[in-house]
Chain A
């Protein structure tokens, strides 16, 4: 077990290293001279040259990379080109916002996926199954931004139940914070729930065929007891695994949703940073996102391997 964890850890480090190289390479090909962007108006050529020196822009790329990576390891992600505040601080301000959106979206997704997945698996071939399959495929196909716009139109413009955009920190006002998140979390959650429903349905179908279930039937347990006590627990594991792995795609969806609903999270941050050519922010944010995905995948892997051997006999130890 430990051996496995160590191997995964080593792999994770290698991947992180490669990720950092990719991020660095990407951003440093971005057009625009950071010195000019920083000093802006009427800076003298001498001032520009001095700043370039200071920023290390004249060094060969690999040396710049080494400087950067050492800084990163010390927690210094650079400074934003527009207001010189530390990138790390900006990230720390915005991450909780996206985190809140993520959590609520996941809750909504699970609230939809679990009942629908169960219904369609237990009534395979029926009209429910057909509806849920169709619904799931629709959910995956619907563009997140269209869904967001439609939700705004119906629930905000037409019905007036929700404001069309806005954000309040949960520390300032918890209830209002959640309230404002409902529409955006819904638009993200639906796409996510489609994926989860499909996953749950197929894994539940598989599990229901398994031997231990038949043993349960033989013992005379009611069908529903069987489903909920044993099958569900086991079917949920791959679903949760997939949820974790969905994180990467989720960040992409968050970029768009945060833009539509004016939520100041890291999705909106990266869009603004890309549009304003704020390289350090782009670098730092992309690095963080990849890092988060890698860590979550790592945790999911470990968790899955911990749970896996115990699944055989339907006893999932808590």
Chain B
């Protein structure tokens, strides 16, 4: 009997020591009760690994979350979407709306020590305007005619024609200032060593795992209270949420809608809701079969039951949509209702089209919510005789495939911009830099160009209303819904400023 013990005793000891070791790990760790937070580090859970940290080459919203910490924009917005000074302290518009004068903030340096001045602004804008850069933001400022430096901290921008959205464009990516020194030094590799003027500077990155940034001690604004911020991607919505619930993560930028109820009732979590600016739907490649056929696209458009999608996949946390302008925007057309699914008409449209092979592949990201949506769409289109194949693609690859037009249909949305021009011009004009659908309608080009040059809101709305009607008819993009932005965070995270652009502004955050 004693010999038996000589075996089991070491075993028991090792088991106990493992438990003890992990128990002392557990004191700083979690169960469903909230974990004690490390007050010096903020961990942000993202919905995917940001593909591009060079804002001038970026097309995704998740990039902008990290950009928020690294860079500043010329103009910023508050939670009511009103313009407030950023790197520009004041600005003037000429009466003919073709000349903008900016006075820049003084005493600002980039994180690598380069001084911020009018030269830097000119450098950045010209980089975007340079077609060799290949910036998707180009069409947002294509109306710039010339940039004139007045002195170190003021410059004048001349436009070719009046462009109403100009100031709002400078509140996001296009207005972000990169260090010219770093850009010149790193070239194409800039995204791996980004340098801006923002409250946090880039430290390191492990692909698909984390992006670490550290407080920039010479930041011009109010110094952030939290020293380190780590962005961690969790592509699975459930994993993201459970990590928040268990305390591994302090705030998450998005969640699956099925988890919203649960988070609402969690006493340790604060939920903040704001109507967002963007739209979601399906991009159709109008240059390939069978989607090059108008009637097929129209059939798809009217066969979809948008209300069912909102209810089943998004638990009514989204608003069904049929055009690019969300309900919160003044450009939202009030007379275009969301119709019920019309299976009969869709079927007859398909017959009329004469297309026999109606099947195509719909690409979606590899997450459960998208898969659920994909299967709903599959089922709905099956009813009208269209068979779709679902292909799951990793987010970054999906973006590349869209940009190189290697797809038939993609579930892809747009985060939205304050100005309705930002929700339409680059997407739906023939040469729009985000128009990956090959869509071209000269009437739309005309309407959208006019809408951006006129400043009277009523006039602009009429133009956007017309655009919405044409987009519904042409169906290059199947609008599905407008998102609401839900942000969930630990109760002890203070200072969160919920702006409808959905970005987490890290400089105001602190732990109680």
Contact = CB atoms under 8 A, between A and B. Distances in A.
B511 to A, nearest CB: 19
Contact of A269 (B136, B208, B239, B248): B208
B403 interface: yes
B248 A176 contact: no
Interface in B123-172: 134, 136
Interface size class of A (residues with CB under 8 A): 35 or more
A262 B29 contact: no
A276 B433 CA distance: 24
Interface string B23-66: 11110111111000000000000000001000001010000000
Interface stretch (B284-292, B393-401, B469-477, B485-493): B393-401
B137 to A, nearest CB: 11
Contact of B248 (A82, A163, A178): A163
Contact of A163 (B14, B18, B22, B243): B243
Contact of B29 (A36, A179, A225): A179
A213 to B, nearest CB: 15
A176 B25 contact: yes
A272 interface: yes
A222 interface: yes
Among B18, B236, B247: residue with most chain A CB under 10 A? B18
Nearest to B8: A115
Interface string A153-166: 00010001111111
Contacts of A114: 11
A164 B240 CA distance: 10
A36 B242 contact: no
Contact of B22 (A156, A175, A277): A175
Interface in B192-207: 192, 205-207
A225 B6 CA distance: 10
23 contacts: A36-B406, A40-B399, A42-B433, A43-B404, A82-B51, A84-B192, A85-B192, A111-B11, A115-B11, A160-B32, A163-B246, A164-B239, A164-B242, A164-B246, A165-B242, A166-B246, A175-B23, A178-B25, A179-B25, A182-B22, A262-B239, A275-B392, A276-B396
Contact of A85 (B57, B207, B433): B207
A179 B207 contact: no
Contacts of A83: 191-192, 205, 207
B18 A178 contact: yes
Contacts of B403: 40-42
A114 B12 CA distance: 13
B234 interface: yes
A224 B3 contact: yes
Contact of A40 (B3, B22, B400): B400
Given A178-B18, A224-B4, A82 B396 contact: yes
A25 to B, nearest CB: 22
Contact of B21 (A36, A160, A174): A174
A36 B136 CA distance: 16
B189 to A, nearest CB: 7
Interface of B: 1, 3-4, 6-8, 11, 14-15, 18, 21-26, 28-33, 51, 57, 59, 134, 136, 189, 191-192, 205-209, 234, 236, 239, 242-243, 246-248, 366, 392-394, 396-397, 399-400, 403-404, 406, 433
Contact of B25 (A37, A174, A222): A174
A262 B234 contact: yes
Among B189, B393, B403: residue with most chain A CB under 10 A? B403
B347 to A, nearest CB: 34
Contacts of B399: 40
B29 A37 contact: no
B3 A36 contact: no
Nearest to A224: B3
Given A84-B189, A175-B22, A228-B6, 20 more contacts: A40-B400, A41-B59, A42-B134, A42-B433, A43-B404, A93-B206, A115-B7, A115-B8, A163-B29, A163-B30, A165-B239, A175-B26, A176-B29, A178-B18, A178-B22, A224-B4, A228-B7, A268-B208, A272-B394, A275-B366
Given A40-B400, A275-B394, A166 B248 contact: yes
A272 B404 contact: no
A114 B14 CA distance: 14
Contacts of A197: none
A264 B239 CA distance: 14
A163 B7 CA distance: 33
A177 B18 CA distance: 11
Contact of A264 (B24, B134, B209): B209
A177 B26 CA distance: 10
B473 to A, nearest CB: 28
Contacts of A37: 397, 400
A182 to B, nearest CB: 7
A264 B397 contact: no
A178 B14 CA distance: 13
B259 to A, nearest CB: 12
Contacts of A80: 207
Given A40-B403, A115-B11, A175-B21, A222 B192 contact: no
B242 A163 contact: yes
Nearest to A176: B25
A276 B235 CA distance: 13
A36 B248 contact: no
B28 A82 contact: no
Nearest to B20: A175
Contacts of B31: 160-163
A209 B403 CA distance: 70
A80 B21 CA distance: 37
Contacts of B207: 80, 82-83, 85, 90
A36 B366 contact: no
A91 to B, nearest CB: 11
Given A84-B192, A85-B207, A276 B397 contact: yes
A178 B239 contact: no
A173 interface: yes
A212 to B, nearest CB: 18
Interface string A113-124: 011000000000
A176 B21 CA distance: 8
Contact of A41 (B32, B136, B189, B234): B136
Contacts of B8: 115
A37 B209 CA distance: 21
Question: Can you list the 9 inter-chain pairs with the closest CB atoms, starting with the nearest?
Answer: A175-B25, A176-B25, A179-B22, A276-B394, A41-B403, A163-B246, A224-B3, A160-B32, A160-B31
A40 to B, nearest CB: 4
Given A178-B25, A262-B236, A111 B208 contact: no
Contacts of B205: 83
A84 B396 CA distance: 13
Contacts of A161: 31
Interface string A99-132: 0000000010001001100000000000000000
A176 B30 CA distance: 10
Contacts of A276: 393-394, 396-397
A111 B7 CA distance: 11
Interface in A260-281: 262, 264, 268-269, 272, 275-277
